[in-house]
Amino acid sequence: MFRSLIPLRTVPPLLVLLALMAAGCASYSYTWRFRTDEDLPHQITLTAPADGAWSSAAIFQLKVALADDNATQVLGQVTQRDRTLVFTPQFPLMAGQTYRATYTFGDGGPAALFTDYRVPAKTTAAPRVTDIFPSGQTVPANHLKFYIHFSQPMQQGNLLQQVRLLHGNGSEVPEPFRETELWSPDGRRLTLWFHPGRQKTGVNLNVELGPVLESGGIYHLVLSGKWASTAGVPLGLDVRKTLRAGAPDRAQPDVARWKYLPPEAGTRQPLQLELLESLDWALLHSQLTVETGEGQPLAGEIAVSGQETRWAFTPAQPWRAGDHRITIGAVLEDLAGNNLERPFEVNLQAPTPTGSAAPRHLPFVVRPR
């Protein structure tokens, strides 16, 4: 298996074919041919001639990298299929980028062969950042993550080159982010984490580098204007979100304090919840469901507003009179990662807070009009 540093993402598939033109292992001649194939994943293949075979003595090494940064290699794997060696990137090639495929042989073959290929850039509008959650400017000093929404699928694999965190005075906060990239399947939403090891009191990175945010501090989350879509078009201008760090939050959400306004039967009035604090935007869409009293889920649409302090559910069909309930998953969490089951941080010198992984239920009654 061949591994390297840059992952790629889905664009029209590319097949790079290197044909071995002469049999035997002592001398080689090669032709390069590029073609696109919508039905294949991106692959780079090396094929022996019909009357030849791979020599057990031959040494084969394949490297694929950005042409202008040959040290930064493409993440993928090499497999053998009959007479063909196939390199398959973990993610497809990025539009507008030039890649260099380098093949190295031993046993009397050439020291190295390489070819460059530029993935065509698509003609399209520039991408935009449509939302950043949490939507408010004030976050707890132990805040954990952001959800960044784009208008188009974005290029992946070089996250730390595209995002920065600055102090209010413009100096850069060192190593604030978790390097792992977490994208939605359509490539339009990035979950960007502050490094949990920086934000959890007493662990190595927190002790060595300190927390990412200090209470009372002003910060700027900056997304590079050079960040390009999978079509190869950059954002154009830096995108900046200003943050103010409040006090750390180490308390679990308390659903018993939530306030709700039940709707009337025969209407499609939204069921409204006041959450009394900002909660995780994505989990508010996945961890709250509305059910009948017997536990049958209701179809409908969720809306989150008020800097993620308000939640509303509009049913697909008019409400029926009778008992209902809101079911809340135990992994629902606040901006600091405290969920219903346990807080993000646990004081080992104090009693461990008790919690349950079972969902919580808030009953309500839909009354006749």
Answer whether residue 94 is part of any domain. Answer: yes
Over 80: is that where the pLDDT of 343 sits? yes
Sheet (strand 138-140) strand order: 138-140, 239-246, 218-223, 163-167
Q: How many CA atoms lie within 13 A of 30 on its CB side?
A: 20
Domain boundary among the residues 246, 267, 302 is at 246
Domain boundary among the residues 118, 145, 174 is at 118
Answer whether residue 51 is part of any domain. Answer: yes
Answer whether residue 159 is part of any domain. Answer: yes
> Based on the domain organization, do 19 and 103 belong to the same domain?
yes
Query: Which residues are 213's β-sheet partners?
Result: none
* 31 phi and psi angles, rounded to 5 deg: -130, 145
State mean pLDDT over 17-37. Answer: 37
Higher pLDDT, 245 or 103: 245
Give the SS3 label for residue 218.
Answer: strand
What's the pLDDT score for residue 87?
65
Q: How far apart are the first and last CA of the chain?
A: 66
Q: Tally the domains of the chain.
A: 3
Spatial separation of the C-alpha atoms in residues 205 and 208, rounded to whole Å: 5
Answer whether residue 124 is part of any domain. Answer: no
To the nearest whole percent, how much of the chain has pLDDT over 90?
Answer: 53
What's the pLDDT score for residue 37?
43
Q: Which of 69-78, 90-99, 107-116, 245-254 has the highest mean pLDDT?
A: 245-254
Spatial separation of the C-alpha atoms in residues 107 and 55, rounded to whole Å: 9
> Based on the domain organization, do 336 and 228 belong to the same domain?
no
Over 70: is that where the pLDDT of 357 sits? yes
- 28 falls in which pLDDT band (50, 70, 90)? very low
Answer whether residue 101 is part of any domain. Answer: yes
Spatial separation of the C-alpha atoms in residues 3 and 167, rounded to whole Å: 36
Answer whether residue 1 is part of any domain. Answer: no
Instruction: Quick: pLDDT tens for 272-285.
Output: 999 999 999 999 99
Q: What is the domain-level CATH number for residue 339?
A: 2.60.40.1220
What domain range includes position 240?
A: 129-246
What's the pLDDT score for residue 124?
75
Domain boundary among the residues 70, 97, 118 is at 118
- 270 falls in which pLDDT band (50, 70, 90)? very high
> Based on the domain organization, do 35 and 111 belong to the same domain?
yes
Higher pLDDT, 359 or 38: 359
> Based on the domain organization, do 41 and 88 belong to the same domain?
yes
> Based on the domain organization, do 114 and 140 belong to the same domain?
no
Q: Is cis: bond before 185, omega within 30 of 0?
A: no
User: Mean pLDDT, the chain, as a whole number?
Assistant: 78
Dump the DSSP string for 177-210.
B----EE-TTS-EEEEEBPHHHHSTTSHHHHHH-
- CB atoms under 10 Å from CB of 95, counted, come to 21
Residue with tokens 């960044």: 148
What's the pLDDT score for residue 113?
60
Question: Whole-prediction pTM value?
Answer: 0.69
Answer whether residue 321 is part of any domain. Answer: yes
